[in-house]
């Protein structure tokens, strides 16, 4: 079901967006060579507790998950790109880390993701991350009142294909509100002018994610982590935005 929020409700969602942005900034600062993924998850957990927020992940158990997620972050490293289950892994020089985080503050959810290279970067990794960020910016710019969901998808795909990346549409953006995942689904490829009209009050997460040389993925034995079939690396960028009469409002903007 598509839900639309009043201007007052969108204002009530701002604290959740600010909190999610603050947590991702803290995680980017902490992520470094020698840091364990479980340390990052613990930091996010501490921040959730201190804020009086609620995790959207820890009890999350959709049909595609093997069990309740059990952690408060998704940490995807190198050939992992989505739903990375934090585990006892120490980040090494040159690792490409994608962090996805969603939380509820006062009953409203925000969802965002970022990718970073720890230590010495590969140029190919930096290009991949930059492309997801540029695709995210293009998708947000296309999210204008009166446009269609397909306009967002088309804008994202145009950036990806220009950079030479293939696109998987199994997972993408989604509605956000009282829960983390709602309608509509926003694939990272689509036809301009098609799909749901974008009306003021619609709150969505836009999340381009690409793999270096494939669009094929498989699920890790942990039952959650999605990895590239050819071992190539992935990157992921995401923001929660609200459609307003004046254009898209990024609720999870980071400083």
183 is in an annotated binding site: no
239 is in an annotated binding site: no
54 is in an annotated binding site: no
83 is in an annotated binding site: yes
- Whose tokens are 């898209």? That residue is 248
Backbone angles phi, psi at 63, to 5 degrees: -65, -30
238 is in an annotated binding site: yes
Q: What is the 3-state secondary structure (H, E, C) of the chain?
A: CCCCCCHHHHHHHHHHHHHHHHHHHHHHHHCCCCCEHHHHHHHHHHHHHHHCCEECCCCCCCCCCCCCCCCCCEEEECCEEECCCCCCCECCCCCEEEEEEEEEECCEEEEEEEEEECCCCCHHHHHHHHHHHHHHHHHHHHCCCCCEHHHHHHHHHHHHHHHCCCCCCCCCEEECCCCCCEEEEECCCCCCCCCCECCCCCEEEECCEEECCCCCEEECCCCCCEEECCCCCEEECEEEEEEECCEEEECCCCC
- Dihedral sign (CA 54, 55, 56, 60): negative
133 is in an annotated binding site: no
181 is in an annotated binding site: yes
Annotated binding site for a divalent metal cation: 100, 111, 174, 207, 238
Annotated binding site: 83, 100, 111, 174, 181, 207, 238
Annotated binding site for substrate: 83, 181
């Amino acid at each position: 079901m598509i839900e639309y929020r009043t201007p007052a409700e969108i204002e009530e969602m701002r604290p959740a967006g600010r909190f999610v942005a603050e947590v991702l900034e803290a995680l980017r600062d902490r992520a470094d060579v020698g840091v364990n993924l479980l340390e990052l998850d613990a930091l996010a957990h501490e921040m959730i507790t201190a804020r009086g927020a609620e995790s959207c992940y820890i009890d999350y158990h959709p049909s595609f998950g093997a069990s309740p997620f059990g952690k408060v972050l998704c940490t995807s490293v190198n050939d992992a790109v989505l739903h990375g289950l934090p585990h006892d892994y120490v980040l090494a020089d040159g690792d490409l880390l994608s962090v996805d985080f969603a939380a509820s503050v006062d009953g409203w959810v925000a969802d965002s993701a970022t990718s970073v290279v720890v230590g010495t970067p590969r140029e190919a990794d930096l290009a991949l991350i930059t492309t997801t960020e540029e695709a995210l910016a293009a998708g947000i710019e296309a999210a204008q009142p009166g446009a269609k969901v397909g306009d967002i998808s088309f804008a994202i795909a145009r950036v990806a294909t220009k950079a030479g990346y293939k696109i998987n549409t199994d997972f993408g953006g989604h509605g956000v509100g009282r829960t983390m995942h709602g309608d509509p689904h926003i694939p990272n490829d689509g036809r301009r002018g098609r799909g749901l009209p974008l009306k003021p009050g619609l709150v969505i997460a836009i999340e381009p994610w690409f793999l270096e040389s494939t669009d094929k993925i498989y699920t890790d034995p942990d039952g959650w982590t999605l990895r590239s079939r050819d071992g190539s690396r992935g990157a992921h960028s995401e923001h929660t935005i609200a459609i307003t009469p004046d254009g898209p409002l990024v609720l999870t903007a980071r400083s």
